[in-house]
Chains A and B, each alone.
Chain A
């Protein structure tokens, strides 16, 4: 039984204009489908990454999983006890008026995980685990750099003894050398504490360093899902190929890149059929008319028909 299972989960947002405008101008209600029939399973001890461009619905999936949003349709089953979240902005996600020891102790106190007299020891232990020192416990968040703050966020998340950690762009606000420190730390903690991560990122290179399995999202749908090793070595969906092709080539191998045409369409009026067809070099009549079913973890007519 997987630790987490999403079955055909969708989420709509009401983006109608105010009531008075609707009445006076005769406009109907409008809704935006941010997540569209997503199926997903996460096994214990693995890292599943969701990757995609802005507006593809990856953060909405994270919020659906932790219950910050309720699904409009579909079902989410979690067989663990607890989950915790690590956010993108380490400046906004820590209370500036609390000392680090209170921030890290809060999940322990709220969930009643430790005897009161052993809480302090547990906090010190967590700080050491994330590469800080027990002396840092008495300090306030503003005394730390971005990378250190993200370490505090990780310590706080671990304090709740979660079965599942949801990381929403945990390193996007950090410089590359600090990002490397945090990614290495997360990998080490996973090995030591056998953690399960759902890792949300727009950065394919970061995802390839941490993930066991990767789901590529486009306009609210998962278009390709596969093991990190096969997806990055042999991308199959045209969108995955396009994304990988768009990553700047640091090796400067001089390989010609196919320039990517077009932009993500407006999610209020998604294209009919396969949502990727306006940008896809392999689109035909069927792609424009019929939504591709997920076959073998990939939603693409061209792949299913063996055209590419």
Chain B
């Protein structure tokens, strides 16, 4: 396993008490595998990514659990050590390429800087590598574009530059947080294809965080569905999409509009996800769940085997089955 996360818990101490944004989350990603992390806003998917690279906004902090990269713990590394892990062994792609790039430097300068920080190369070698990276991510006229500034690129091309930066030092893991959300559909498909190709050809593990189930269906091998700070279902992407096991995933899949040639009524989950300071007792989904029974109100379910997937739902408890 490239990345293994166990019982990761993130808390935000506030004046009105401690909020648990991530509650005992466990998952792992193998080499060349794309794990999709899906959920609605506030479910904790971005926090998971930020906790892995230790870039949580204060006062957020890791309150428990372990994060291992290629078997080595990274959640307790000193800050300086962690800085070397970021960029060198974990590459990150964020939603908005403009905030990831420095507007005052050419993209060539930024690529060479990243390469020479992490790899022992001469200036000339670093430059050659930068140009070949730009070619690899599909930027036409890479040599000429080397001297251009971020504002001279379109949104899709900028996101390609950010991906080139993320893979510059050949990291083992790429964390992509909503990499296609700011892009138009036609460009989105190009970026998805690029990420998938990189994972396959380089054997990089990818953690793809998105709210868009369509993007997950196209790219991921496995998918983790998050709700109120926990993983409620995790399994092979085909099974989660075609045979969801958790009532929340069932509702989520039904509420996604599909291209249809006539109007249909969408499946509706009533209500909204609870706020962090008002997570109900028992299963966090129980007030919105059409299948809840007594045990759901009292006890919180852990991940239980359900077919080829795992679901945090008492419906899959051995006694209920």
A175 with B269: in contact, given A53-B184, A208-B257, A242-B186 (CB under 8 Å)? no
Q: Mark B258-290, 1 if CB is under 8 A from A, else 0.
A: 111111111111101000000000000000000
Instruction: Report if A209-B260 is in contact (Cβ < 8 Å); known contacts: A248-B214, A259-B193.
Output: yes
> Does B319 touch A at the CB level, under 8 Å?
no
Whether B185 lies near A175 (C-beta < 8 A) is no
Residue from B211, B238, B265 in contact with A184 in the complex, judged by beta carbons closer than 8 Å: B265
Q: Are B193 and A177 in contact (CB under 8 A)?
A: no
Judge if A210 is at the interface, Cβ distance under 8 Å.
Answer: yes
Chain A residue, CB-CB nearest to B184: A53
B184 is contacted by which of A54, A181, A184, A187 (Cβ under 8 Å)?
Answer: A54
Tell me the nearest residue of chain B to A205, going by C-beta.
B257
Interface residues of A in 35-64 (CB under 8 A from B): 53-54
A295 within 8 A of B: no
B317 in contact (CB, < 8 A)? no
Q: Which residue of chain B has its CB nearest to the CB of A183?
A: B266
Which of B154, B241, B259, B265 has most chain A Cβ within 10 Å? B259
* CB neighbours of A54 from chain B (8 A): 184
- Structural contact, A202 and B185, CB atoms closer than 8 A: yes
Asked if A180 and B185 make an inter-chain contact with CB atoms under 8 angstroms apart, the answer reads no
Q: How far is the CB of A109 from chain B (nearest CB, A)?
A: 31
Q: Determine whether the beta carbon of B211 is less than 8 Å from that of A229.
A: no
B311 to chain A, nearest CB (A): 18
- Best-surrounded residue of B154, B185, B192, B238 (most CB of chain A within 10 A): B185
Q: In the complex the two chains form, is A264's CB within 8 Å of B184's CB?
A: yes
B215 at the interface (CB under 8 A from A): yes
Nearest residue, chain B, Cβ from A203 = B257
Contact status A259-B190, CB under 8 Å: yes
Question: In the complex, are the beta carbons of B40 and A177 less than 8 A apart?
Answer: yes
Stretch at the interface among B15-23, B61-69, B102-110, B248-256: B248-256
Stretch touching chain B among A8-16, A81-89, A94-102, A249-257:
A249-257
Q: For the complex, is B55 an interface residue (Cβ under 8 Å from A)?
A: no
Q: Tell me, yes or no, whether B187 is within 8 Å of chain A by CB.
A: yes
Task: Report Cα–Cα, A211/B212, bound state, in Å.
Answer: 22
Closest CB in chain A relative to B37 CB, distance in Å: 15
Question: Within 8 Å of chain A (Cβ to Cβ): is B41?
Answer: yes
**Does residue A206 face the partner (Cβ distance < 8 Å to B)?**
yes
Q: What is the number of contacts between chain A and chain B, taking CB atoms within 8 Å?
A: 122
- Is the CB–CB distance between B261 and A208 below 8 Å? yes
Smallest CB separation, A235 vs chain B (Å): 10
Q: Beta-carbon contacts of B90-115 to A below 8 Å, as 1s and 0s?
A: 00000000000000000000000000
CB distance from B176 to the nearest CB of A (A): 15
B188 at the interface (CB under 8 A from A): yes
0/1 string, A193-234, CB within 8 A of B gives 1: 000000000111110111110000000000000001110110
Query: Hey, which chain B residues are within 8 Å of A211, CB to CB?
Result: 263
Q: How far is the CB of A148 from chain B (nearest CB, A)?
A: 8
- Using CB atoms, name the residue of chain A closest to B237: A252
Q: How far is the CB of A291 from chain B (nearest CB, A)?
A: 22
A212 to chain B: closest residue by CB:
B263
Q: Is the Cβ of B154 less than 8 Å from the Cβ of A263?
A: yes
**Pairwise interchain contact B186-A260, C-beta atoms closer than 8 A:** yes
Q: How far is the CB of B304 from chain A (nearest CB, A)?
A: 23
- Residues in B whose Cβ lies below 8 Å from that of A232: 259-261
**Is residue A176 within 8 Å, beta carbon to beta carbon, of the partner chain?**
yes
A248 x B263 contact (CB < 8 A): no
17 residue pairs A–B, Cβ–Cβ below 8 Å: A54-B184, A180-B254, A180-B266, A181-B268, A181-B270, A184-B265, A184-B266, A204-B259, A209-B263, A228-B261, A228-B263, A246-B186, A246-B188, A246-B189, A250-B258, A259-B193, A260-B189
Q: Give A residues with C-beta under 8 Å from B.
A: 53-54, 145, 147, 175-181, 183-184, 187, 202-206, 208-212, 228-230, 232-233, 242-244, 246-252, 257, 259-260, 263-264
For the complex of A and B, the 3 pairs showing the least CB-CB separation, nearest first, are A248-B214, A180-B255, A175-B40
Q: Which residues of B contact A (CB under 8 A)?
A: 40-41, 154, 156-157, 184-190, 192-193, 211-215, 217-218, 237-238, 241-242, 251-252, 254-270, 272
Extra pairs beyond A204-B185, A248-B189 (9, CB < 8 Å): A187-B265, A210-B263, A228-B263, A246-B185, A248-B217, A249-B217, A252-B238, A263-B154, A263-B186
